Amino acid sequence: MIVAAGERRAALAFLPPNRQSQRMTDIILFDYWRSSASYRVRIALNLKGVAYTAINTSLLEGDQKAPAYVARNPQGLVPMLSIDGHDLTQSLAIIDYLDAQYEEPPMVSRDPLERATTLAQAMIIAADIHPVNNLRILKYLKDELGQSQDAIDTWYRHWIAEGFAALEIMAPDSGLFGGDQPNLADVCLVPQMANARRFETDLSGFPKLVRIDAACNALEAFQKAAPEAVKPAE
């Protein structure tokens, strides 16, 4: 369930500083439709069949900096998942928790080598590409360093291309990163591919990544998590 804009404002305005007033059975995702980190968590929740309520937390309007929100998420970022009496932050940490609580389908293998491989693939995106290309970095480049939009777009495409070049080599020749079913690397790839297309990145050099992205986006769990599927009504 997605909370509408007016209800979102009320939810954020009266967000309690702790979860004592929230039912232990409630699973609430503080989400922004265009955030690729939030997108990862939406995919994982859908793949595991976990029902949740999404509260749109607008990064453009500064909802994530509301005092009540920062009291529960000191970084003032999205996503934040309130679940089992806890407020969880950082998308990969959230997905790791979900993987421990909801074992099927697994996001990482129990085999140590396969697990390490998947984590390395996922972190090319989550730890290398995404951190230098997220909204707050782009705003800093423009507002504080005075960079033009053309320069910012070039910056963005450079880091995507560098990370994707390595990931393309690591990608399987057939199937998904997870084989027959998506794993953590697939969950991280799809949002980053959406961002790449948004910034008109040339993807012709990454045919395996394009193929994997298309296969994932044919699955309902990915379709329901897509930005256009969860974008709040104007």
Q: If pLDDT is split at 50, 70 and 90, which confidence band does 147 have?
A: very high
Q: How far apart are the two ends of the chain, measured CA to CA in Å? A: 17
- DSSP assignment letter at 104: S
Q: If pLDDT is split at 50, 70 and 90, which confidence band does 135 have?
A: confident
In a domain, 233, yes or no: no
Question: What mean pLDDT comes out for the span 36-47?
Answer: 98
* pLDDT surpassing 70 at residue 19: no
Per-residue confidence (pLDDT) for residue 60, from 0 to 100: 86
Sequence-separated (6 or more) residues with CB below 8 Å from residue 14? 68
CATH at residue 120: 1.20.1050.10
Per-residue confidence (pLDDT) for residue 131, from 0 to 100: 86
Q: Are residues 119 and 220 in the same domain?
A: yes
Per-residue confidence (pLDDT) for residue 2, from 0 to 100: 57
CATH at residue 90: 3.40.30.10
44-88 pLDDT, tens per residue? 999 999 999 999 999 889 899 999 999 999 999 999 999 999 999
Instruction: State how far the Cα of 167 lies from the Cα of 51, in Å rounded to an integer.
Output: 32
Question: What mean pLDDT comes out for the span 110-121?
Answer: 98
In a domain, 189, yes or no: yes
Q: Can you give the residue range of the structural domain that contains 217?
A: 112-224
Query: Which contacts (CB < 8 Å, 24+ apart) does range 153-157 have?
Result: 153/199, 153/200, 156/199, 156/201, 157/196, 157/199, 157/200, 157/201, 157/202
Instruction: State how far the Cα of 43 lies from the Cα of 181, in Å rounded to an integer.
Output: 13
Question: What mean pLDDT comes out for the span 110-119?
Answer: 98
Q: Which among 49, 82, 105 is the end of a domain?
A: 105
Per-residue confidence (pLDDT) for residue 201, from 0 to 100: 95
Q: Which among 70, 105, 140 is the end of a domain?
A: 105
Q: If pLDDT is split at 50, 70 and 90, which confidence band does 16 have?
A: low
Q: State pTM to two decimals.
A: 0.89
Q: Where does residue 85 fall: left (phi above 0), alpha (psi -120 to 50 degrees), or beta otherwise? A: left
Q: Are residues 10 and 86 in the same domain?
A: yes
Q: Are residues 49 and 132 in the same domain?
A: no
In a domain, 234, yes or no: no
In a domain, 136, yes or no: yes
Question: What mean pLDDT comes out for the span 26-51?
Answer: 96
Q: Is the dihedral of CA 138, 140, 145, 149 positive or negative?
A: positive
